[in-house]
Amino acid sequence: MATHPPLCLDRLDVGDLRPVSLRVAAGEVLCLAGPSGAGKSRLLRAIADLEPHGGMVTLGELAQADLPGHAWRRRVMLVPAESQWWAERVGDHFPAGDVRGLSTLGLTPAVLDWPVGRLSSGEKQRLALLRALARGPSVLLLDEPTANLDDATTRGVEAWLMARIREGGWPVIWVAHDPAQIARVATRRGRLESGRLVEEAPATCK
């Protein structure tokens, strides 16, 4: 397992949320739940330097403020709920040709030659995960990564992601609504509610 520095938030101040301080170590999966509109996506976007905010975000010795946004986001990889596609052909989003996991995720290699406009939302979501991991991140921020998938596909994507997370050893923040999914993937769990982040003890021992 690769060793990555911890992701630290020091009084991260975004929107109406009370400032958030936390440390997510290599290999930890912090699942973040909370009602719709609580600010989960905004928090992830601030960590990725895509949202105005106060406070500090660091990755070991490296501070977010020390790097231009695009260089920070190569390390701190956000997979948003709605992925962005800039080239017409799917395969052009994988310039290094690393599509490990394509068939495990239930996708045919032919998909690489498709125009992006042909993709379903679930296909986009799985390809966005593949694309993010292929870039060699140091941190993963996952915003409802299985929101557009049926149950069977969700379980497959979860298993694949957890195997990659074990192998990659990244600190991970995973926004999820489904308590069953949270029970399967979280090593820690938190909830954004009434403008603050509360970390919860696990419901069961693993």
Chain contacts with ligand ATP (rule: CB under 6 A): 15, 34, 36-42
Distance in Å, CB of 151 to ligand ATP, minimum: 20
Beta carbon nearer to ligand ATP, 127 or 141: 141
Beta carbon nearer to ligand ATP, 39 or 101: 39
SS3 of the chain: helix, strand, coil, percent, to 5: 35, 25, 40
d(CA 140, CA 144): 12
Beta carbon nearer to ligand ATP, 37 or 97: 37
For residue 184, is it left (φ>0), alpha (ψ between -120 and 50) or beta? alpha
The b-or-e profile of 136-161 (16+ CB within 10 A means b, else e) is: ebbbbbbbbbbbbbeeebbebbbebb
Beta carbon nearer to ligand ATP, 69 or 136: 69
Beta carbon nearer to ligand ATP, 15 or 115: 15
The token pair at 110 is: 């032919």
Other residues' Cβ atoms within 10 Å of the Cβ of residue 25: 15
Distance in Å, CB of 23 to ligand ATP, minimum: 21
Distance in Å, CB of 88 to ligand ATP, minimum: 28
The token pair at 67 is: 């790097």
Q: How far is CA 19 from the centre of its chain?
A: 21
Distance in Å, CB of 80 to ligand ATP, minimum: 10
Distance in Å, CB of 57 to ligand ATP, minimum: 16
